[in-house]
Amino acid sequence: GSIVAVLAVPPHIIPQEFLKLMGACRKSMSHLRIIKDSVPNRFIMLLKFRSARAAYRFYDNFNGRSFNSFEPEICHVVFIKSVEFDSPDIPKYAFSPASPDPALLLNSESCTLPNTITNSQSIQNNLSPLLSDPQKSSSLLELPTCPVCLDRMDSSVTGLLTIVCHHTFHCSCIMKWGDSTCPVCRYSSTKESDSLHPSSSPLNECSDCASTENLWICLICGSIGCGRYFQGHAFKHYQETGHVYALELETQRVWDYAGDGYVHRLIQNRTDGKLVELPAPSSSLHSSINGLTPHSNVLGPVSASPYFAADGSVPSSSAGYISHVLGRRAMGLDTLDPHSIITVQDAAIAEKVDALGLEYSHMLQSQLDTQRKWFERQLTKIENANTLREAYRQTCAERDSLLSVVNQHVREKKQTDRKMEQLCDRLGALERDTREEQALNSGLQDNLVKLRADLEASLHAGCKKDALISELQEQVRDVMFYVETLQKV
């Protein structure tokens, strides 16, 4: 299918980071929906692609791949056959598709999706009885607009993103949003809080039970939970994740679940550079110095002091002097002068800010060391890769030279083969001539034998004739002698 899901996504992976992680696969995605998982601090990302091939390509590229180089979590990508949303509080005609394009995240026949709702007017429009009629709604369906760019949200043109609060945006718009919060929810909550409490800031609360008392924050992932004297959600978070350090928001003390005790927070002293324990919160210091209350101000307004800014903030250049004055007064070396230029309360706050600044500077230094080691490893990998690349280039050059030599030898071999073929042709012609000459020679030899036999026969006949002639000549001579004798007689 074309629907996949990424399971167990950690909460620190914001949608912008996940969209950047997708890279080129983001162009083939039509809709992305973030669903809250049953496991705390885990989410499911449901992705709909325009084709099944794009979904399989996303599965091959990202299944088993880590989200980033600093975290051990990896992507668990699975294919989804069908998804169905069932809400007893919202009627079914409120779940209208956001676009008539067939490349929607969920088909209306197999599953339904809630539309983007940004105000009460859109809620009334989505809950109107007119849309409950499928025939009328199919003809009167209107594409909603993106709350950021106010353009129509068409999944066939650009990918859409639906976050946990059911607000839908263009992927390109949400990637430009620099905050991890929802733009619509942030605007609504800010507007509501400004109208109800113009001067108050939002309070921290437990992420599970919304409790605002005895809160602890995890120093690893930032999850806020209530203490063990309430419902113990902070301890449950430790049992589920194994994050052993939690900070109590009220007292700023760190608890170690593994060691079952508070952690001594050490900071570096600015005077001698030694490590000292972080002092107690400012409230105990205010109440211990000369019986002053945390809100007492016997020294006049803060803005009148040269060690404070006009808005009451503490410049970094005055923090060391304030810490020195408070330390001497806490040890009883100095008395609290009513005409002093600073207040105990603001000095304690400045000391606390200075201590936290030192603590976070050490934390930043350790993180920078970790990043330096990581980048050194990456640099080593790059150098090794460059070495291998150079060796590969040399090997390729040697291969090219050998290929040129081989090609030259191949050309020479072809020339030699052509010459050999010519010589073979000449050799065949000579062999044919030789066979003809041999046949002619054998014929001549036979004729010579016959001629020799004829010659011998002729010579033998001639010898016989010569003998006969000589005999006849003897006979003629005898006859002539006889005739002559007769004549004489």
The sign of the CA dihedral 165, 168, 169, 171 is positive
Tokens coding 311: 């808005």
pLDDT at residue 398, rounded to an integer: 93
Indicate the CATH number of 205-263 among 3.90.1150.10, 1.10.10.10, 3.30.40.10, 3.40.47.10. Answer: 3.30.40.10
pLDDT at residue 90 is higher than 50:
yes
pLDDT at residue 425 is higher than 90:
yes
| Contact yes or no for 159/170 (Cβ under 8 A) | yes
| Contact yes or no for 2/43 (Cβ under 8 A) | no
pLDDT at residue 108, rounded to an integer: 36
Where along the chain do the CATH 3.30.70.330 domains lie?
A: 3-184
User: Given pLDDT bands bounded at 50, 70 and 90, which one contains residue 433?
Assistant: very high
User: Given pLDDT bands bounded at 50, 70 and 90, which one contains residue 437?
Assistant: very high
Helix (H) or strand (E) holding 274: none
pLDDT at residue 468 is higher than 70:
yes
pTM of the model: 0.34
Where along the chain do the CATH 3.30.40.10 domains lie?
A: 205-263
pLDDT at residue 249, rounded to an integer: 85
pLDDT at residue 393 is higher than 80:
yes
pLDDT at residue 384, rounded to an integer: 93
Q: Write the DSSP symbol of residue 172.
A: H
pLDDT at residue 192 is higher than 70:
no
User: Given pLDDT bands bounded at 50, 70 and 90, which one contains residue 414?
Assistant: very high
User: Given pLDDT bands bounded at 50, 70 and 90, which one contains residue 140?
Assistant: low
Quote the percentage of the chain above a pLDDT of 90.
13
| pLDDT tens per residue across span 218-269 | 887 778 899 888 888 998 888 888 888 888 888 878 888 888 888 766 666 6
* 233 contacts: CB under 8 Å, gap ≥ 6: 206, 207, 208, 209, 225, 226
| pLDDT tens per residue across span 24-72 | 888 888 888 888 877 777 888 888 988 888 888 888 888 888 887 777 8
The sign of the CA dihedral 392, 394, 400, 405 is negative
User: Given pLDDT bands bounded at 50, 70 and 90, which one contains residue 110?
Assistant: very low
What integer is the mean pLDDT of 410-420? 94
Is domain 3-184 in CATH 3.10.310.10, yes or no?
no
